[in-house]
């Protein structure tokens, strides 16, 4: 593994705690887990991590089977402005800090599958080349979309809330096994709430294994 399960869980929990506190829309979560996670890896681990967007496919075992992000056009899975997923690529590895939420996503599709909140951290060399090759638990397919990445990142840098939250995430994070400071005392932005403070509690979410 590139990073330990304990630090993966710490990064996931740090980001998730902030997203919950700000009631972030679920359709934005994938991007923010990737962007903020990459920033933490750069600052605290010295890794040249890059957030990546596109279509992706994960095999989550016999009960849930395939979890796909994207839309089918002409028989091919493609990413679009509304149908896509984010992950991180660093030093020949892919890391998806949203993976512990896969059980929630599977449940929303109506599948009655028992899936654990696991870590997704895999060598890129193990990525499958075609959808048909994604046959066993832990198999994955990544279809990067550079133009969509440029579009989404350009939009993100214009939104002050995302920028502030990203800075808070990086500044708040502490490597395991050190104790996370909690609650986080945050000054709210904006003219109406300027100067007011908000307490954000750190919650250590379960990550019980690895895909």
Average pLDDT of span 184-204: 71
User: Which element (helix H / strand E) includes 105?
Assistant: helix 102-108
Q: pLDDT tens digits, residue range 100-138?
A: 999 988 888 777 888 899 999 999 999 999 999 999 999
How far is the C-alpha of 159 from the C-alpha of 189, rounded, in Å? 12
Number of Cβ within a 10 Å radius of residue 167: 12
Average pLDDT of span 75-86: 92
Domains of the chain: 5-200 (3.10.550.10)
């Amino acid at each position: 593994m590139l990073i330990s399960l304990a630090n993966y869980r710490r990064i996931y929990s740090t980001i998730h705690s902030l997203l919950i506190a700000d009631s972030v829309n679920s359709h934005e979560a994938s991007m923010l887990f990737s962007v903020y996670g990459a920033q933490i890896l750069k600052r605290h681990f010295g890794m040249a991590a890059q957030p990546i967007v596109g279509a992706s496919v994960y095999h989550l075992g016999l009960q849930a089977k395939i979890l796909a992000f994207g839309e089918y056009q002409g028989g091919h899975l493609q990413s679009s402005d509304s149908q896509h997923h984010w992950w991180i690529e660093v030093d020949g590895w892919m890391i998806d800090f949203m993976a512990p939420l896969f059980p929630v996503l599977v449940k929303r599709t109506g599948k009655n599958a028992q899936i654990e909140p696991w870590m997704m951290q895999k060598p890129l060399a193990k990525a499958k080349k075609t959808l048909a090759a994604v046959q066993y638990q832990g198999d994955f397919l990544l279809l990067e979309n550079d133009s969509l990445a440029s579009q989404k990142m350009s939009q993100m840098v214009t939104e002050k809330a995302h920028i502030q939250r990203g800075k808070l995430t990086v500044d708040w994070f502490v490597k395991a096994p050190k104790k996370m400071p909690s609650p986080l005392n945050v000054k709210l932005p904006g003219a109406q709430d300027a100067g007011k403070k908000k307490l954000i509690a750190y919650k250590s979410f379960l990550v019980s294994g690895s895909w």
